Amino acid sequence: MSVTLAHYLAVSGVVFGIGIAVALSKRNAIAVLMGVELMLNAVNLTFLAFSRFSAAFSENSAPIAGHVFVVFVLTVAAAEAAVALAMAVLVYRRRETVDLDRINLMRW
């Protein structure tokens, strides 16, 4: 049995669904960020799968194109995580909680 594009897309869909469920159901800011990271990793898996299988179907396509997108997405995800965690630390210092329901940033 060989692994096909459908297998990769199914795993990516499941990971993306878990990421959405975590991001929408949790009240903790750190857990929401983890859900967003899961969604970004699911997109990375999809890019890599399409890159791998598009190279198998045509001789003219560059298989490295999907990998370039993955590097860009990982860079954006790392920057997003760094900025969001810094903001979470600042909010925790001020409010002493990271519960999204208890944080009202309009009033300091």
User: Three-state DSSP class for 91?
Assistant: helix
Which range of 10-14, 24-28, 79-83 scores highest in mean pLDDT? It is 10-14
Tell me the whole-structure pTM to 2 decimals: 0.77
CATH code at 5-95: 1.10.287.3510
Question: For residue 63, what pLDDT is reported?
Answer: 65
What average pLDDT does the structure give for the chain?
Answer: 84
Confidence class for position 60, pLDDT limits 50, 70, 90 = low
Task: Report the Cα–Cα distance between both ends of the chain, in Å, rounded.
Answer: 59
CA geometry: angle 75, 90, 18, nearest 5 deg: 50
More confident residue, 18 or 97: 18
